[in-house]
Structure 1
Amino acid sequence: MNLLLSFIWVALTGSLYYSNFLFGFLIGFFILWLMNRQETDQRYFNRIPKTIGFILYFLYDIIVANIQVAYDVITPKYFFTPGIICYPLDATSDMEINLLSTIISLSPGTLVLDISEDKKSLYIHVMYLKDKEIFIAQMKNGFEKKLLEILR
Structure 2
Amino acid sequence: MKAFLSNILLAFTWVAVTGLFEPINFIIGFALAYVILWMIQRSTAPSNYFSKVYQVLSFSLFFGRELVKANLRVAHDIVTPYHHMRPGVVDIPLDVQTDEEITLLANLITLTPGTLSLDVSTDRKVLYIHAMYIDHVEEFRRSIKEGLERRVMEVLR
Classify the TM-score, shorter chain.
over 0.9
Counterpart amino acid of residue 104 in structure 1: I
Which residue of structure 2 lines up, in the alignment, with residue 135 of structure 1?
Answer: 140
CA distance in 2, matches of 1:4, 1:50: 22
Q: How far apart, in 1, do the equivalents of 2:16 and 2:45 lie?
A: 32
Instruction: Tell me if 1:111 matches 2:116.
Output: yes
Displacement of 1:17: 4.1
- The Cα of 1:111 is off from its aligned counterpart by 0.3
Whole-Å separation in 1 of the counterparts to 2:87 and 2:42 = 50
Deviation of residue 33 (structure 1)? Answer: 1.4
Which consecutive residues of structure 2, in runs of 5 or more, have no partner in the other structure?
1-5
CA distance in 2, matches of 1:39, 1:12: 25
Which amino acid counterpart does residue 20 of structure 1 have in structure 2? Answer: N
Q: TM-score, normalised by structure 2?
A: 0.89
Q: Deviations over 1:101-129 (max 9, x none)?
A: 11111111110000001000100001111
1:6 aligns with 2:11: yes
Deviates more, 1:53-62 or 1:29-38: 29-38
Q: 1:87 aligns with which of 89, 92, 102?
A: 92
Superposition RMSD in Å: 1.5
- The Cα shift of 1:41 comes to 4.0
In the TM superposition, 1:40-79 aligns within 5 A as 41-79=46-84
The one-letter code of the counterpart of 1:55 is: S
Any runs of at least 4 consecutive aligned residues in structure 1 with deviations exceeding 6 A, and if so which?
Answer: none
Alpha-carbon distance in structure 1 between the residues aligned to 2:152 and 2:22: 29
TM-score by length of structure 1 reads 0.92
State the AA in 2 paired with 1:134: E
How many residues align structurally? 152
Q: Which residue of 1 aligns with 2:32?
A: 27
Aligned with 1:55: secondary structure? helix
Deviation at 1:4, TM superposition (A): 1.7
